[in-house]
Amino acid sequence: MKALGAWIEDRLGLGPVAAFLAKKEVPCHRHTILYYTGSSILLFLGIQIVTGVLLALYYQPTLAEANASVVRIMTEMPLGWLVRSVHSWSATFMIALVFAHLLGIAFTKAYRKPREATWLTGVLLLGSSLAFGFTGYLLPWDELSLAATKVGTNLPKALPVIGTWLTQVMRAGDDVTGDTITRFFIVHVSVLPLALLAILGVHIFLVQRHGMSAPLEAERDKIKLPWLPFWPNFLLREAGVWFVLLGVLLTVAVFLAPGVGPQADLMAPAPEGIKPEWYFLFMFQTLKLFPARILGLNGELIAMLVMMAGMAAVLFLPFIDDRPFERKGKVITGLAWAGLAYAIGMSIWSLM
């Protein structure tokens, strides 16, 4: 056994990695719970990959077959309804945890020097997760998914110069058609997974490189926090959290399986009460409220620019909040709470 270990070590040279993990420390403080969000996201990502491959065994990304093949998965394939339900719910859980992860890091200002690059890759991962949600939403090809995709892919059109081209790239032409399904499918199952895994590799490497971030006060006052060894103490606790989450996921997936709407008709009017997935609701409500013209300017363009400015502010937060210990840092925390309140308020409003 020892000889085999040595044989492998000679060829892979992973000793330093194992040594690193063996002495990795996890600080204990009142925000330690936030450390669990990262690994829980990985749990749901794994579930997404497995259930996604299973769905792709039967799903057919064409105009004629998309909706029918989802119906077939739901009604004819053994446990197909459960696979799809887990995929759909796990997506929701994953995105909820991505938001929790991001908010936890934002409000503890864990993005401060030297972790700016970790934050940047994290925001890119949020973007890819939302892109997964957006492209996946179209695939069942029912009335709601058609209307949501028409709206979503029309948004870039308001941008000058490249707007129309961007919309055409997303739609595979001027309109949402069968070609759009094929395109969204390929992006959903090939382009985005490659991008996400590449960025995730960098993200996880950076997290290990810098170690777990300690709270602001501990760093300022140079307090040495108590800590747990990552292996095996913290990992076992994480495994406990995973089991609980897995139980919740399966329970929800069994009792609240998503349905499939009637097949989308390109010529039919948009159905009443269309709504995007919950994580796009605040943008949806914002768009609804923006008037057509503001001071003679195109309201849609202004809405787009405001949203893009918001996204840029989130992306570059570590560089904007470059003095986390000072007054500026406190003001930015206040603004972040206001932004969060806006998103939650708008989401609730859109459901009323």
Partner 1 sequence: MKLPASLYSRRAFLNGLIGGWLAALGSAFISPLLKYIVPPTPEPDQVTVPFADYKDMAPHTVKGFAWGNKPGLLQRTEAGEYVAFVGVCTHLDCNVSFVAEQRRFYCACHEGWYDENGLNVAGPPPSPLRRLSVSVEGDTLIVKRQG
| Residue with Cβ nearer partner 1 (293 or 323) | 293
Residue 296 sits in the site that holds partner 1 (CB under 8 A) = no
| Cβ 270 to partner 1 shortest distance, Å | 4
Please state, in angstroms and rounded to a whole number, the distance separating the CA atoms of residues 252 and 273: 24
| Cβ 37 to partner 1 shortest distance, Å | 34
Per DSSP, the three-state class of 322 is: coil
| Residue with Cβ nearer partner 1 (52 or 152) | 152
Beta strands in the chain (DSSP E): 25-27, 227-229, 293-294, 297-298
Q: Give residues with Cβ within 8 angstroms of 282, minimum separation 6.
A: 342, 343, 344, 346, 347, 350
| Cβ 188 to partner 1 shortest distance, Å | 16
| Cβ 176 to partner 1 shortest distance, Å | 8
Residue 179 sits in the site that holds partner 1 (CB under 8 A) = yes
Residue 174 sits in the site that holds partner 1 (CB under 8 A) = yes
CA nearest to 139, candidates 278, 263, 283: 263
Contact 143, 289 (CB under 8 A): no
Q: At 179, which amino acid appears?
A: D
| Cβ 308 to partner 1 shortest distance, Å | 16
| Cβ 150 to partner 1 shortest distance, Å | 5
DSSP symbols for 165-178: HHHHHHHTSSS--H
| Residue with Cβ nearer partner 1 (106 or 303) | 303
Residue 142 sits in the site that holds partner 1 (CB under 8 A) = no
Residue 156 sits in the site that holds partner 1 (CB under 8 A) = no
Bridge partner residues of 25 (DSSP): 229
φ, ψ for residue 227, nearest 5 deg: -145, 160
The correct pick among 78, 226, 259, 273 for binding partner 1 (CB under 8 A) is 273
Residue 10 sits in the site that holds partner 1 (CB under 8 A) = no
Q: At 159, which amino acid appears?
A: L
Tokens in use for 228? 């747990």
Residue 223 sits in the site that holds partner 1 (CB under 8 A) = no
Residue 349 sits in the site that holds partner 1 (CB under 8 A) = no
Count of residues touching partner 1 (by CB under 8 A): 34
Bridge partner residues of 229 (DSSP): 25
* Interface residue list for partner 1 (CB under 8 A): 147, 150-151, 153-155, 157, 165, 168-169, 172-175, 177, 179, 266-274, 287-288, 290-293, 298-300
